[in-house]
Amino acid sequence: RAAAMGVPEDLWQREDTDAGYLQFINNSALGNNGTTIDAINPPLSGYTYTRTPGQAYAPSTYDWRHVALVGNSGQSASDRMPDGNTFVAISNGYMYEVDMNGTVVWQYPDDPQKAFRYTCDHPGIIALLGQNPCGINTVVEEGLKGSIVLLPNPTSGAVRLEGINTADLATIRLIDGTGRTLTTYSPGPSIDLEDRPNGAYMLEVVLRDGTRFIERIALSR
C-alpha cells in the first residue's frame, strides 16, 4: 500500500516471465524494413546495471530474438506475456502472438503504431472491470481432471476428444480469447476447426451431469 495525497492506495506489480530482461523492437537488425524483437539480460549489481568504464553496457548481443513476420521502419510494439508468449504489433502491418517456439497462436488484422495486450487475469484489468471480466469459467471439475484429451494439439483442423464417453456429452463450445462463443458443436467424438483462422482457442466441454471441462487448443497450419 502507498499513500497518495494522504489517501491509502493499493498498488500492484506483475511478475513476468523472464523478469529482468529488457525487450525492445529492433528495426535495423535485418536491413531495410526488417524487424526483430530482441531481449537482453543485462548484468546487475544489486539494483544497478554494471558497466566497465570506457566500454558499452553488456551484453554485446541479444540473448533472445524473434524475427517479426513482417517488417516496418516505423514505430511498433511488443510485450512478453505471463505464459512466455510474445505479443507483437507491427505498425502498418498487423498484431499477432507467438509461443516460445515461434508458432503463431493468434493474429488480428489491425495496424496501430502502438498496441499492448493484457490477459483477463491481469491485475490492472481486474481492478478496472472486476474478477473474470472475460466471462470464461476456468474451473476444472475435480472428477474430470485428466479425463479428456484433445488430439492433436496443436491441430491443423480436426480435433478428437479422447478419454470420455460420447454418450455423456451435452455441449461443446469453441471460445475465443475474449470469451466470445464462436461455435456450438453437436456432441460427438471430434470437431473441425478448418474454417477458423490460426490462433489460440478455448474448447468448453459440458457433460450431461453438468460437469464442465475447459481446455486451450492451438490451431496452426
Which tens digit of pLDDT belongs to each residue from 93-102?
788 888 888 8
For residue 86, the one-letter residue type is T
Q: What residues does CATH 2.60.40.1930 cover in the chain?
A: 142-219
Average predicted confidence (pLDDT) for the chain: 80
* Band (106; pLDDT cuts 50, 70, 90): confident
> Residues in the chain, how many?
221
Find how far residue 187's CA is from the centre of its chain: 29
Enter the pTM of the model. 0.53
Closest CA to 24 of 41, 6, 44: 41
Which tens digit of pLDDT belongs to each residue from 34-76?
889 999 999 988 888 998 999 988 999 999 999 998 877 778 8
Which tens digit of pLDDT belongs to each residue from 128-173?
777 666 665 544 444 444 468 889 988 999 999 988 888 999 999 9
E strand or H helix at 3, and its extent?
Answer: strand 2-4
pLDDT in the model for residue 19: 73
Q: Average of pLDDT values for 21-40?
A: 87
Instruction: Domain 142-219: give its CATH code.
Output: 2.60.40.1930
Residue owning grid cell 474448447: 203
Burial of 127 (0-12, 13-18, 19+ CB in 10 A): exposed
pLDDT at 16 over 60: no
21, 39 in Cβ contact below 8 A? yes
Residue owning grid cell 502472438: 97
DSSP collapsed to 3 states, 147-213 = CCEEECCCECCEEEEECCCHHHEEEEEEECCCCCEEEEECCCCEEECCCCCCEEEEEEEEECCCCEE
Say how far apart CA 58 and CA 43 lie, in whole Å: 7
